[in-house]
């Protein structure tokens, strides 16, 4: 038994794995079948990852028992991140570290380390690794610099530091524009990040324009995943702009693509925006049905982020329908899930909805505390869009109480987006 394919098949069978199980996140079942039949040859980076999965050294398949070349380790580590095996990626980066001789090599290893830590949810450590990569990367390698700042912007968005994320995203674009043949898929990712950052800051038109550019770049790259993400972003911004037919068109396109590439979680998340589009169009029954389907599936998938979003949307619908007790329970479920996923924007919005429901149920002091907590969360993140929304919601609560002056003051803050007066307004209610 001499061929790589024969050795791979024997090792797979010895560990009781199917071709599909071995291929997961690394290749396709068909590709593994071709390798085992000696009709295809895997790259060394991919073969190393398969060897690690089988618990064997790469030399078992290649006949070379010292394949420690840095290039293979780096590629294998990046493949491991993409295969959702970040711990394995970190181990490969550690193994590759002593072999790195140039600034480019060291910077790239720090970049991959940052990606793996991000995948593990260790965002602070990830950001440190990526900032180290940016400091090490020489200016004569614009492609590497562009890739590093793309990852920095991704982590900053996850941390909800939107102003810093915009700066990192623009630096990423700066470097990619200096690459002769820049990867359009990477450019699409940078632009999608910028769209998300601007959305978090309440900059609706800028967000929409970045998402349009992201779709164009994703189309050039022929990347279905990037195209779906861009369509989803455009569905959100089009809804916010009142372009409801356009929003539904983008959402349906995103849903179709995510279903085609078997991105079940992402496909489910599209339902949330479809529900909000229906709600904005006055189709409350269709909106409730879409959000409930989204929430039910999110619970089945243990997708805390989407539980937080969908439960919060349903809480808002219930509040508008006068179902205050139901709104309260849904808002609390939204807060718990959003806290687990560290989605502070939707956690704050659900906290405000709980406050509005509590006020209607005769608990004004609880309502005031919940609104103050929500506003504090959003001020810390400079989330102007959501902050305006919560201030307008609080103004409505105060108006129904008969506190007309404070209600008008909060509404003026929401309209002008001048939040400097918020501390005084909140103190006035204590």
- For 209-245, the pLDDT digits (tens) are 999 999 999 999 999 999 999 999 999 999 999 999 9
Phi-psi region of 63 (alpha: psi -120 to 50; beta: other; left: phi over 0): left
The answer to whether 308 touches 299, Cβ cutoff 8 Å, is: no
Looking up tokens 């193994």 gives 95
Q: Are 272 and 292 in contact, with CB atoms under 8 Å apart?
A: no
Structure tokens at 254: 């995103």
**3-class SS string, 114-182:** HHHHHHCCCHHHHHHHHHHHHHHCCCCCHHHHHHHHHHHHHHHHHCCCHHHHHHHHHHHHHHHCCCCCC
pLDDT, position 69 = 67
Alpha carbons within 13 A on the beta-carbon side of 89: 25
Nearest to 22 by CA among 41, 39, 35, 3: 35
Distance CA 47, CA 72 (A): 10
Q: What is d(CA 228, CA 230) in angstroms, rounded to the nearest whole number?
A: 5
Spans in the chain with pLDDT lower than 70: 1-2, 62-69, 429-430
DSSP class per residue in 264-331:
HHHHHHHHHHHHHHHHHTT-HHHHHHHHHHHHHHHHHHT-HHHHHHHHHHHHHHHHHTT-HHHHHHHH
Asked whether 270 and 239 are in contact (CB, 8 A), the reply is: no
The 3-state DSSP class for residue 363 equals coil
The pLDDT of residue 68: 52
CA-to-CA distance for 16 and 21, rounded, in angstroms? 10
Residue among 186, 128, 123, 122 nearest 155 (CA): 123
Question: What was the pLDDT predicted at 63?
Answer: 62
d(CA 219, CA 226): 8
pLDDT at 39 (0 to 100): 87
Q: Is the pTM value of this prediction over 0.75?
A: no
Do 155 and 126 contact (CB within 8 A), yes or no? yes
CA-CA distance, 314 to 304, in Å (whole number)?
15
Which region holds residue 57: left if phi is over 0, alpha if psi is between -120 and 50, else beta? beta
162: closest CA among 374, 381, 385? 381
Q: How far apart are CA 325 and CA 80, in angstroms?
A: 47
User: What pLDDT is recorded for position 257?
Assistant: 95
- Contact (CB, 8 A) for 173 and 208: no
Tens of pLDDT along 317-340? Answer: 999 999 999 999 999 999 999 999
pLDDT at 1: 45
Please give the structure tokens belonging to residue 206: 């800028």
- pLDDT score of 65: 41
């Amino acid at each position: 038994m001499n061929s790589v394919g024969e050795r791979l098949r024997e090792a797979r069978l010895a560990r009781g794995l199917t071709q599909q199980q071995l291929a997961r996140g690394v290749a396709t079942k068909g590709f593994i079948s071709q390798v085992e039949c000696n009709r295809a040859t895997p790259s060394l980076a991919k073969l190393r990852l398969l060897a690690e999965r089988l618990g064997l050294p790469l030399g078992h398949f290649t006949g070379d028992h010292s394949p420690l070349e840095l290039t293979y380790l780096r590629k294998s580590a990046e493949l491991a991140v993409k295969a959702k095996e970040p711990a394995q990626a970190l181990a490969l980066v550690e193994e590759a570290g002593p072999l790195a001789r140039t600034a480019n090599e060291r910077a790239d290893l720090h970049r991959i380390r940052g990606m793996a830590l991000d995948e593990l949810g260790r965002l602070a450590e990830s950001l440190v690794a990526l900032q180290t990569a940016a400091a090490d990367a020489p200016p004569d390698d614009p492609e590497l610099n562009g890739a590093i700042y793309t990852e920095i912007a991704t982590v900053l968005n996850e941390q909800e530091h939107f102003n810093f994320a915009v700066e990192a995203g623009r630096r990423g674009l700066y470097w990619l524009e200096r690459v002769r043949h820049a990867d359009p898929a990477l450019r699409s990712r940078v632009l999608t990040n910028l769209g998300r950052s601007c959305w978090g800051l309440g900059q609706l038109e800028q967000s929409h324009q970045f998402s349009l550019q992201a779709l164009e770049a994703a189309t050039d790259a022929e990347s279905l995943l990037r195209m779906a993400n861009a369509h989803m972003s455009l569905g959100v911004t089009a809804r916010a702009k009142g372009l409801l037919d356009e929003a539904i068109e983008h959402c349906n396109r995103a849903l179709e693509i995510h279903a085609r590439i078997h991105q079940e979680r992402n496909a489910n998340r599209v339902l949330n925006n479809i529900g909000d589009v229906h709600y904005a169009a006055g189709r409350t029954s269709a909106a409730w049905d879409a959000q409930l389907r989204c929430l039910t599936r999110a619970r089945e998938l243990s997708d805390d982020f989407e539980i937080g979003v969908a439960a919060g949307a349903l809480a808002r619908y219930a509040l508008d329908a006068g179902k205050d007790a139901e709104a309260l329970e849904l808002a609390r479920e939204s807060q718990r899930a959003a806290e687990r996923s560290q989605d502070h924007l939707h956690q704050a919005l659900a906290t405000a909805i709980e406050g509005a429901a509590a006020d209607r149920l005769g608990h004004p002091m609880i309502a005031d505390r919940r609104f103050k907590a929500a506003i504090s969360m959003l001020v810390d993140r400079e989330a102007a869009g959501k902050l305006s929304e919560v201030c307008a919601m609080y103004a409505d609560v105060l108006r129904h109480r008969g506190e007309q002056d404070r209600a008008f003051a909060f509404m003026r803050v929401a309209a002008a987006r001048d939040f400097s007066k918020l501390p005084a307004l909140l103190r006035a209610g204590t």
